[in-house]
Amino acid sequence: MLPLDINKSDALSFKMDREHNGVIPPFRALSGVGDQAALSVVEARKDGPFTSIEDLSNRTKLSQQRIDDLKALGCLKGIPDSNQISLFDFLDDDDTDK
């Protein structure tokens, strides 16, 4: 059994992942996620990848609690909290010491 995947999981059905030789659970398998919320994630994903957690929240019917659950499960690793860019994002680690 593989972990739930924000980019690969189906809304309602388990999927076989031959590349990783396992089964990916659907969003519906997450406690508290109803069919409509699960379907909204898959539908929103058709418009492109989620650029931030804020984007995920705006484009789907997931509640903040379910988004927090996805974070806790590591499903949102590497996705920034917001689309807002900070000046510090452009600075090299070596530049911050000067």
d(CA 45, CA 56) in angstroms, rounded, equals: 9
Q: Say yes or no to pLDDT of 50 above 60.
A: yes
6 found inside a domain = yes
Q: Report if residue 50 sits inside a domain.
A: yes
Residue 12 domain flag? yes
Mean pLDDT, residues 69-78 taken together? 93
User: Can you tell me the distance from the alpha carbon of 30 to that of 81, in angstroms, rounded to the nearest whole number?
Assistant: 21
What six digits make up the tokens of 52? 């931030």
Is 3 inside any structural domain? yes
Q: Judge whether 2 lies within some domain.
A: yes
What's the residue count for the chain?
98
Query: In which band, very low, low, confident or very high, does the pLDDT at 96 lie, cut at 50, 70 and 90?
Result: very low
Q: Is residue 83 part of a domain?
A: no
The answer to whether 14 and 84 are in contact (CB under 8 A) is no
CA distance 25 to 90: 37
**84 in any annotated domain:** no
The parent domain of residue 39 ranges over 1-78
CA distance 6 to 44: 11
Q: Which CATH number covers residue 8? A: 1.10.150.870
Give the model confidence (pLDDT) of 2-46 as tens digits. Answer: 999 999 999 999 999 999 999 999 999 999 999 999 999 999 999
Residue 96 inside a domain? The answer is no
How many independent structural domains does the chain possess? 1
